[in-house]
Amino acid sequence: MLSKASRFVLYPIIFWLTGLAYSQEVWDVLQTTWNRTALLQYQKQSPPIIFSNQPASASANILVKDTEIYQPVLGVGGTLTDSSAQLLRNLKSANTQSYWELIHYMFSPEEGAKSGALSYLRVPLGATDFSAGVYSYDDFDGDLCLNDFTVSIAPDYVFEVLNDIKSVNSMLRVHLLPWSPPAWMKDSGTAFGGSLLPQYVPIYAHYLLKSLQAFESKGILAYAISIQNKPMLETTTHPTARFTPQTEAQVGKALRALMNSKRWKNTKLIGFEQNWDKVGDYPVRLMQNAGSDVFDGVAFHCAAGTVNQQDAFHSAYPEKEIYFTECTGTHGTDWWGDIKWYMDNIFIGSIQHNAQAALMWNLALDGSGNPMLLGASTCGNPGCRGIVTINANGTWNVNQEFYAMAQLAKGTIPRDIGGPVARRIGVAVQGTSSATLRVGAYVTHRAKSTDSLRYSLVVMNWNDSANTKWNPQNVTSTIEFQGKRITYTFPVGVTTLWWYDCNPRAP
C-alpha cells in the first residue's frame, strides 16, 4: 500500500503521463457550410476528439505527412485600394462602432477571436481603376531629382485605415506596387498605357525607393514591393503600363542596389504580378535577365491559366518565392460555387502549388462594385465584388471571399503574436471516396521551443453532385497523424480543425 507521501509524488506523475498519452486531441473546429447554417462558426469539441489506434477508413482517410515540410504560409488578404479605404473611412465617420467591429472581425489574429485573421495587404502606389482620380507621387514633368515627390497627394484615408488595421493586427504584411510610373516617364505621356522610357529606368528605381521611405514615415514598414502591376496589360480606361522582362529586370537591378544600400535589404522584391498562363514566358525571362540576387520571387493572378502552372516556375526556380496576389469575384455569382472554386484554386490550391500568400482584389466595395475611376470598366456589369460590401446605410456584410480565406487564415495565423508563421506540410486523401475531400495541411512552430506545435487541416467537402443532381452528402473520414487516427464527419462546406503535439518528428 502506498504511503501518503508516495501518493503525493506518484499521482502527479501518473496524471502527467496520461496527459502525454492523450496530447494529440482535437478541441477546436471552425466551419462554414454550403447552406450558410454555419459561417466561420467555432465549435469547441467537448469532450475532445482523441487520436487513437483505430483503423483507417476504407472510404476516406486523410493522411498527414508531418515530416514533409514545405514553404511558409505568410497570410491571406486583399488590396486596400483608394476606393476600399474611402468606403471604410466613410463607415468610420458614419458609424464608428460598426467600423471597428468590421476591422476586428476581418483582421484580429487573437486565438479564439471571432475573426478572419487576415494578415496580408497589397497597397497601390498611386491611382488604379479603383481611385477617385488619376495621380502618381510625382506628376511634375521632368522632375529628374524627384524634388516634388510626395505621398501626400494620396488620399489621407489610405494611411488612416491602414494604420487602424495595423493597430488590430500588428503582424500585418504590406506589399506595395504601382499601376503605372508617373506619366512623364512614359512614352505615352499619360498614365494610361505606354512604356517606361529607357532614360528613366534609374529615376523610376529612385521613385520606388522614395515610396518605401514615404510609407515608413507614415508608420508603414513594407514587407514587399513590386515594380509594376500587370506588366503585360495596356488599356486606356485606367492606369497601366507595359514592361518587357528586360525593362523590369533593369529597374529591379537598380532598385535592389538602392534597397541594399539604404537598409531595405530585407524587403522582398517581387516580380511579374500577372496571370498563370504566362508562367513559362515573362517570369522566366525576368529571372534570366535579372540574375539570381535581384528578385525574391514572383506573383500570379487568376484571370487566365490554371493554378498548377505555378509549378513550372517553381521547377525552374525552386529557390524563388511564389505569391498569389489577385483574383476578384463579381456580383450575381453562386455563393457556394464561388467558395468551391476559391478553395480549390486559391486558398488550398495556390498554397499547395507553393504560394506563400493568397490574396483577393478589393478589400471593400459597395453593392455595385463602386466607387471606380471614371471611365474604368473593370469586371463590366454587374461589377467587381469586394471581400466586404459597405452599404450606404452604415452597415456591412462580408462576402464568400472572406469566408473562404478566413478558413485558411485561422489555421495558419501564427499561434503566438509575432511568432513563427505556419508552413505547409504533406497530406494525402486515401480511399474510395477520396475525391470528395480537398485538403491542405499545415504546422505552426511556437515562439518558445518548449510549447507544443500546432497542426491544422483545412478540409473542403464538395460532395454535392452539383454537376448532376444536387445532393449534398456528409463525408465521414479518418484523420491519420503519426500512426494514430480520429474519425470526423465533414458536412458539405469548409472545415478547419487543429491540434497540438509536443513531440514533432524530424523531417
Question: How does the average pLDDT of the chain come out, rounded?
Answer: 94
Q: How far apart are CA 256 and CA 345, in angstroms?
A: 32
Task: Write out pLDDT tens, residues 115-141.
Answer: 999 999 999 999 999 999 999 999 999
pLDDT band at 113 (very low <50, low <70, confident <90, very high): confident
Residue 453, number of CB atoms within 10 A of its CB: 17
Question: In the predicted model, what is the mean pLDDT of residues 341-368?
Answer: 98
Q: How far apart are CA 206 and CA 408, in angstroms?
A: 37
Residue 50 has pLDDT above 50, yes or no: yes
Task: Write out pLDDT tens, residues 381-419.
Answer: 889 999 999 999 999 999 999 999 999 999 999 999 999
Q: How far apart are CA 217 and CA 212, in angstroms?
A: 9
Residue 107 exposed, middle or buried by CB count within 10 Å (0-12, 13-18, 19+): buried
Nearest to 237 by CA among 350, 374, 361: 374
Domains annotated on the chain, with CATH: 24-72+421-501 (2.60.40.1180), 76-409 (3.20.20.80)
**Better-predicted residue by pLDDT, 502 or 261:** 261
pLDDT at 469 (0 to 100): 87
Q: How far apart are CA 383 and CA 379, in angstroms?
A: 5
pLDDT band at 505 (very low <50, low <70, confident <90, very high): low
pLDDT band at 212 (very low <50, low <70, confident <90, very high): very high
AA letter at 359: L
What is the phi-psi region of residue 36: left when phi exceeds 0, alpha when psi lies from -120 to 50, beta otherwise? Answer: left
| Rounded (5°) CA angle 319-352-484 | 115
Q: How far apart are CA 324 and CA 133, in angstroms?
A: 27
pLDDT at 133 (0 to 100): 97
Question: In the predicted model, what is the mean pLDDT of residues 203-228?
Answer: 98
Question: In the predicted model, what is the mean pLDDT of residues 64-80?
Answer: 98
Residue 27 has pLDDT above 90, yes or no: yes
Under DSSP, is residue 50 helix (H, G, I), strand (E, B) or coil? strand
Q: How far apart are CA 268 and CA 223, in angstroms?
A: 6
pLDDT at 468 (0 to 100): 84
pLDDT at 19 (0 to 100): 42
Please report which helix (H) or strand (E) contains residue 285, including its range.
helix 282-290
Interacting residues of 246 by C-beta distance below 8 A, sequence separation 6+: 285, 289
pLDDT band at 327 (very low <50, low <70, confident <90, very high): very high
Under DSSP, is residue 492 helix (H, G, I), strand (E, B) or coil? coil
The pTM of the whole model exceeds 0.85: yes
pLDDT at 112 (0 to 100): 81
AA letter at 157: Y
Task: Write out pLDDT tens, residues 454-463.
Answer: 999 999 999 9
Cis link prior to 504 (omega < 30° from 0)? no
155: phi then psi, degrees, rounded to nearest 5: -55, 135
Q: Residues of the chain with pLDDT > 90: what percent?
A: 90
pLDDT at 15 (0 to 100): 38
Task: Write out pLDDT tens, residues 158-201.
Answer: 999 999 999 999 999 999 999 999 999 999 999 999 999 999 99
Question: In the predicted model, what is the mean pLDDT of residues 68-89?
Answer: 98
pLDDT at 506 (0 to 100): 59
Residue 155 has pLDDT above 60, yes or no: yes
pLDDT at 504 (0 to 100): 64
Task: Write out pLDDT tens, residues 259-287.
Answer: 999 889 999 999 999 999 999 999 999 99
Residue 27 exposed, middle or buried by CB count within 10 Å (0-12, 13-18, 19+): middle
Nearest to 222 by CA among 295, 120, 318, 154: 120
Residue 3 has pLDDT above 90, yes or no: no
pLDDT at 6 (0 to 100): 46
Residue 466 has pLDDT above 90, yes or no: no
C-beta of residue 79 within 8 angstroms of C-beta of residue 378: no
Q: How far apart are CA 3 and CA 8, in angstroms?
A: 9
Q: Residues of the chain with pLDDT > 70: what percent?
A: 94
Residue 430 has pLDDT above 60, yes or no: yes
pLDDT at 507 (0 to 100): 58
Give the DSSP letter string of 262-277. TT-TTSEEEEEEEEGG
Give the DSSP letter string of 62-119. EEEEEEEEEEEE-EEEEE--HHHHHHHHHHHHH-HHHHHHHHHHHH---TT-SS----
pLDDT band at 23 (very low <50, low <70, confident <90, very high): low
Which segments within 244-383 are labelled E, that is strand?
A: 268-275, 297-301, 321-326, 329-330, 355-362, 364-365
- Partners of residue 298 on adjacent β-strands: 271, 322
pLDDT at 439 (0 to 100): 98
Question: In the predicted model, what is the mean pLDDT of residues 290-314?
Answer: 97
Residue 106: all three cell numbers together: 476581418
pLDDT at 286 (0 to 100): 98
Question: In the predicted model, what is the mean pLDDT of residues 319-345?
Answer: 98
